[in-house]
Amino acid sequence: MTDPDLRRRLAEVARQPNAGPAAAAELARWLAADQPFVNGTELRRFVARAPVELITDAFRCDIPFGTGGRRGRVGIGPNRINPRTLALTVAGHCEFLRKTAGRSGLAVVVANDTRVFSDINALHEFMGADWSLLGTSSRSLALLACQIYAAYGVHTCMTAPDDPEGYMPTPELSFAIRELDAAGGLNVSASHNHPDDNGFKVYTPTGGQYCPPDDATLARCVEQVALDPQIEEVVAGRSDAVTDIPADVHKKYVSMYVSRDAEFCSSSAAVRSQVPVVYTPLCGTGLASVAETLTEAGYQLHVPADQYPDGSFAAVPLRSPNPEILGAADPATKFASTPEVGADLVLSSDPDADRLGVEVRLADGCWRHLTGNQIGAIIAYFLIADPAGPRLSGRLITTVATSRVLAAIAPLGSGISLTDDLMIGFKFIGQLLDAAESAGPVRLVLAAEESHGYLTTTELRDKDGASGAYIIAHLHALMRSSGRTLWDYLMSVFDAVGVHIEHGRSLVLLGAGGAEQIKAVMLSLRDQAIEHIGSEPVLRRSDFLVDGVTGQLTEGERAARDVLEFASEHYRVVVRPSGTEAKLKYYFDYREPPSAGSRAAERYDQLDATVRAACSALYADLARRAGYELSAAALDLPDVMPVSEKAALGRVGHG
């Protein structure tokens, strides 16, 4: 591009609403001098060919360092995931370790999932087939991270560093940090996001994620770090900078769950080898954790051939490998239904294997998707109250967005200490366990969150798909041997504690405009609060930015506490911006006490449609506050779709 062309493009960016001037200024800085880990030729190609809206979004800010790390689209610019963003994150982490670790010989464990960037959404076709970011994988970024750590004098280890296809599940990273007494960890993963996304998450020495106020210190180190102009040359000479994690670490991780299975779930041992179970890692890392644990425990496990590790997630519907999403496991349920397999249970995990999904086939042959709250209720009841279960005592921990069913189950046990008011995010559960363990040994029964996250051991500090999988498989084997299903088991739980129905939904609002819309909706809810949920008037409102706050909040605390709660007699709604995605999320639940006049299964069927309609009406209200009118047809479209697309398709369908 000639200088006049550059000036013209910069002027176009500067004229964009909201973030345009800031994006133009940052882009001008990038064009004025070479940036480490940035291909100058490709940068100019991007500026010349990209839509101005894309340039603006890519340069409007540094990609936020929130929820312990960064996550977003792969691409060019400071608001994208790329080698430069990785280098800044690692360099900032090294600076943080220097200030806080208080010891020499620092070591960091590095993990990655299976994803590979191939521009599936074709947002960058104009960059051509020779674009250097095409083919960027979590593995390649993780290996680069190890070289950058070495350049700053920090030793790293990872699973099979010589294997370009290697990976490590997130929960095993948490376990390995603790087992190896490392100073922390780095995970290269975007969890359940689309394969065109990626991210980096920093872990504490206890295997958790940083919480306020430490997260603010880490974020400042990342935001203030400057890369040496020669760092690429230094890093290039550190190709041998990483060592292999000892094999016994993985063996200890698997045996930890297998031994718990033998202790708590032995009553199904005689039948489990005759009960087929389908497991899908949704093309991610879970074969090394969930699958290996279940196989070692003696289950007859089947994995669909097209669901093995694949960085494009090609076999996953909508390429959305999230166990929360209804339909993500549809290919696996079809596989399970074949005569050759004949399984009535499908387990799934997201690409980094920290979430667990459950699909169960009912007596009529139809498949039922269990929500994260329902899975949590089943696990909690088995561990706490089931006469045939271990009847454990200890801590039951959850968050403000998770179903109130866990609080209803707690009194059915003995010696249960309930915490159900944590802010949303498993890192706060890890922080609570750290604090409790500093005073002595902790007996954890279950930590759970609505987004399919469970932990049944204190040997790690993150949610783990394997942590609940062996319990679900055990109960399924018992139910099937007596002609029942896991859905029947859940209904027996509701007979004891009352019917609970929950739905979690998200409004996807992309880009700089979407970020402003999310802020506008939260402001609207504070200024003009929800007055009714379904047909019931709201009786209680809570704003966690205000309620329970006694001092000034850090930026990280404000982000974590940007949560609103509305409750009526039976309903409750919790609304918050996502900390990792361009989403406004809300959690919708209904509860009623046990009824002597009807069975829970009948009552659930009577209520479900009414609760779904109330939840859908709230979606329409939130979309309206964001500036979109949605038709009834648009409200039924999958939540992975941006709200703007739903509104447009709804208008086309109406016409």
In tens, the pLDDT along 367-422 reads 999 999 999 999 999 999 999 999 999 999 999 999 999 999 999 999 999 999 99
**What pLDDT was estimated at residue 104?**
67
| Alpha carbon of residue 5 to chain centroid | 42
Helices (H), 482-625: 486-497, 511-527, 555-560, 600-625
φ and ψ of 440, to 5 deg: 145, 175
Contacts by residues 457-460 (CB-CB < 8 Å, ≥ 24 positions apart):
457/256, 457/257, 457/260, 458/433, 459/175, 459/178, 459/256, 460/171, 460/174, 460/175, 460/178, 460/207
| pLDDT tops 60 at residue 652 | no
Tokens of 498: 């009352």
> CB under 8 Å to 535, separation ≥6 — which residues?
614
CA distance 481 to 473: 12
**What pLDDT was estimated at residue 67?**
63
Nearest of 547, 593, 594 to residue 566 by alpha carbon: 547
In this structure, the strands spanning 155-158 and 242-244 are: parallel
Find the radius of gyration of the CA atoms of the chain: 25
In tens, the pLDDT along 232-279 reads 988 887 777 899 999 999 999 999 999 999 999 999 999 999 999 999
Q: Does domain 500-654 have CATH number 1.10.3470?
A: no
Instruction: Measure the CA angle with vertex 266, ends 265 and 267; round to 5°.
Output: 95
- CATH top-level class for 68-245? alpha beta
| pLDDT tops 50 at residue 654 | no
Query: Please, which residues bridge with residue 279 across strands?
Result: 347
* Average pLDDT of span 215-222: 90
Does an H or E element contain 591, and which?
Answer: strand 583-591
| pLDDT tops 50 at residue 292 | yes
| pLDDT tops 80 at residue 653 | no
User: Which residue has better confidence, 512 or 163?
Assistant: 163
Cis peptide before 213 (omega within 30 of 0): yes
> CB under 8 Å to 337, separation ≥6 — which residues?
343, 361
Same fold, 68-245 and 250-496: yes
Does an H or E element contain 200, and which?
Answer: strand 197-203
Q: How many CB atoms lie within 10 A of CB 102?
A: 8
In tens, the pLDDT along 557-613 reads 888 899 999 999 999 999 999 877 789 999 999 999 998 778 999 999 999 999 999
Q: Which residue has the tokens 């309206």?
A: 624
Helix, strand, coil in percent for the chain, rounding step 5: 45, 20, 40
**What pLDDT was estimated at residue 651?**
65
**What pLDDT was estimated at residue 313?**
97
Nearest of 45, 137, 127 to residue 82 by alpha carbon: 137
**What pLDDT was estimated at residue 209?**
94
What DSSP designation does 326 have? T
pTM for the full predicted model: 0.94
* Average pLDDT of span 280-286: 98
Residue 444 pLDDT class (50, 70, 90 cuts): very high
CA distances from 183 to 241, 258, 370 (A): 17, 28, 38
The full set of domain ranges for the chain reads 1-60, 68-245, 250-496, 500-654
CA distance 470 to 472: 6
Nearest of 601, 604, 578 to residue 591 by alpha carbon: 604
Q: What is the mean pLDDT of the chain?
A: 94
CATH assignment of 250-496, among 3.40.462.10, 3.40.50.300, 3.30.360.10, 3.40.120.10: 3.40.120.10
CA distance 199 to 190: 5
Does an H or E element contain 407, and which?
Answer: helix 405-409
Tell me the percentage of the chain whose pLDDT exceeds 90.
Answer: 86
> CB under 8 Å to 393, separation ≥6 — which residues?
413, 414, 415, 416, 443, 445
Q: Which residue has the tokens 């220097």?
A: 98
Helical axes 40-49 vs 3-14, angle rounded to 10°: 60
Nearest of 282, 301, 70 to residue 186 by alpha carbon: 70
Tokens of 289: 């954790």
Residue 127 pLDDT class (50, 70, 90 cuts): very high
Tokens of 489: 């088991």
Tokens of 398: 């959850």
Residue pair 110/158 in contact by the 8 Å Cβ criterion: yes
**What pLDDT was estimated at residue 1?**
60
Residue 655 pLDDT class (50, 70, 90 cuts): very low
CA distances from 18 to 23, 50, 230, 455 (A): 10, 19, 35, 42
Helices (H), 211-280: 214-224, 231-236, 247-264
In tens, the pLDDT along 86-119 reads 999 999 999 999 998 877 678 999 999 999 999 9
